[in-house]
Structure 1
Amino acid sequence: LSGFKVIEPDTEYSQEVWLEVDNNSGETKTLSEVDEDFLEKVRKEYKSPEKVITGLKESNEIQVTNNREPTFNPSSSLIRLYYHIEVDDKNSRIKLSTTITELIGETPAIVIFGFALYSGNSRNGSFRQRTILEREWIAPRLGQTASRTFNVTNTQFWTANYTHTVGWVGAAPRTGTGSSETFLLNSKAKPYPKVINEHNNTVMPEPSMTTWKVVPENERTKREPKLKNKYIRWYIDTYGNPRWDWSGIHVHHVRPLKYGGTNAMRNLYPVPADFHIKVVTPWWANY
């Protein structure tokens, strides 16, 4: 519907970490930014001599010779760790994985890491650890990976933290830490829907808590008669007239009446009717 932008929610979160050892000083460091020119230089330092076919021997074996030798004395060795979170709403689970996606130069003697998944009842509240992926890789290899899945059964906010220690022979090991974004999933691991009101540049608010209880029907607030008309007047007075065709818009309760919400204007948000019926309401059905 014109005036609204539906954003496909993220189902994957990832972060890559580069660590470097200086082959001369033995200093190990985490690279906050990776310059492509620097990477290309280091790759060239370690590039194998090119091979050329010079002909066939009588045994039909291909004969090759070295065409050139490396031009530089390697100055650094690098490793890239890739931390990945995949939300699988078809099977109601979260998958954590850690992979070595690049090795340049000398292979580290050891890589130790922990990738922990946490959940909480509010975005800014306390979180508790739900599972952890831990490994100790001796002489790690390119493409080495480990993963762990966790079954989602409750609506929660989720985040993940990682820590790793990488050490090369003759160099002091380096430890680093980091964290993922925080994201909201319902009890079926479905990400919270996202739609932007382009008229007042707001995003549909998410529930502030994941522990709202169902209020008995005879105790919950009833929807006001002609609530939509009242909301339209309030919206125009507050934000100006968006010139929408309001017949294609539903007024969504950010905190549903079923879970203790009210008809207060600040608890309401306009959404395209089709999006409300097909996406928002099903998400709340598994809150």
Structure 2
Amino acid sequence: MTVTTESPPAARRAPGTDTADATPHPATVAVRSVVTPLRVGITTLWLSVIVLLPLAAIAWQSGTKGWQGFWLAVTSHAALESFRVTLTISVLVTVLDVVFGLATAWVLVRDDFVGKGAIDALIDLPFALPTIVTSLVMLALYGSASPIGIHLQHTPPGVAMALAFVTLPLVVRAVQPVLMEIDRDVEEAAAALGATRLTTFTTVVLPSLQPAILTGAGLAFSRCVAEFGSVVTIGGAVPGKTEVSSQWIRALVENDDHTSAAAISMVLLAISLAVLVVLRTVGGRAAKREEQDE
């Protein structure tokens, strides 16, 4: 007797064993081919309206008096003094943000204590407050009637305190999620081999955090360069002392010199963009080195 065996019908095959199951339906492919360009087009249109067109308008207005008018606007004594004050305070505040932002993120991720959730929520408070409210809070705390006896009104430290208040969360939120993802087994292995906590931090943890730290630092610096509302009352716009470039731009607008104001704005935009590109490039290279080492 000859016994013949038949393969099970296609309908009885287990899901996943039939190659047809893995093939997308033609209708699905067609929908995807239509939806993807549509989403890209909507995103591009939105960014053009919100970002590109305003920047193009500022660039056009800054050049209405020609190159000579642009150069005179950005090299005037008042403009150069505002650039000096802005960049000096911004660099100082960014360094402080990196140090204290990293420390704050470390405490929130690695330590457990009463009120941790409340402190974590308070980190985002500067994002919710209008910047002018921040300036009024700083004025009430560090002004001439300071309840704690610290008078920083119309001083560079007062401007720095206001800028640090609004920029510190940028570093914390950039570092915190990366710190949460770091494998602690490597740190424990380093400690088992006799490495100190400082050595473990500088050789194991810090290289992994470098891209996030640079990103947070770039965002903090750019925010410092462009900030206006948080320093408007505590700073007082004292020329050569506390008058940052954003306040000088306001003075130009109030004097109906919109072309010079646009020129100063373009310089600030170029500075912020250059810093972001450099830090992103360095951070990207550091991330690639980390992946290659792994």
- Asked which structure has the greater RCO (Cα within 8 Å, sep 6+), the reply is 2
Shorter-chain TM range is under 0.3
The structure richer in helix per residue is: 2
The structure richer in strand per residue is: 1
TM-score (norm 1): 0.22
